[in-house]
Structure 1
Amino acid sequence: MSRTGPVTPGAMTVNPIQLQKSLGGVDYPASKETLVEHAKSHGADKKTVDALSAMPKKSYGSPAEVTKEATKKG
């Protein structure tokens, strides 16, 4: 079945493995801004940066929490 309508940025497109590779070395807890900047400076692709940028502005306590939020479907 085909889905129509807008898709949340990053939803269903961000690769969790690529996401965590881009965030390697981050000290947690980390703010959304820290995560986005770290990913950009470590060569993250556009989908990964967009998914991180679309997350709520708060502090994230672990890589698992970031992955859960960044891959959340609208």
Structure 2
Amino acid sequence: MARVSPVDLQKALSGTDYPTDREALVECAKRNHASKEITEELSHLRKKTFDNPAEVSKAVFGHK
């Protein structure tokens, strides 16, 4: 799977209301015409709920 860029992830999740869940992130990304790589990455996140964009970024990119 191609690596997802932080900028592309931010664009894909534009308009997301937090807190949110994994399924809502995937749906938002699809509405924003995100790439298949991004929607797949989001759908495979281990964490199920997210309070803010930083939590999503940490889950996707593994920031400590």
TM-score by length of 2: 0.86
Q: Following the alignment from structure 1 to structure 2, what is the Cα–Cα distance between the partners of residues 57 and 16?
A: 18
Point out which structure has higher relative CO (alpha carbons under 8 A, 6+ apart): 1
Q: Following the alignment from structure 2 to structure 1, what is the Cα–Cα distance between the partners of residues 20 and 41?
A: 16
- The Cα RMSD (Å) is 1.5
2:45 aligned partner, one-letter code: M
Q: Percent identity?
A: 44
Higher helix share: 2
Q: Following the alignment from structure 1 to structure 2, what is the Cα–Cα distance between the partners of residues 49 and 56?
A: 14
Unaligned runs of 5+ in 1: 1-8
Tell me if the contact between 1:14 and 1:47 (Cα under 8 Å) persists in the aligned partners.
yes
Unaligned runs of 5+ in 2: none
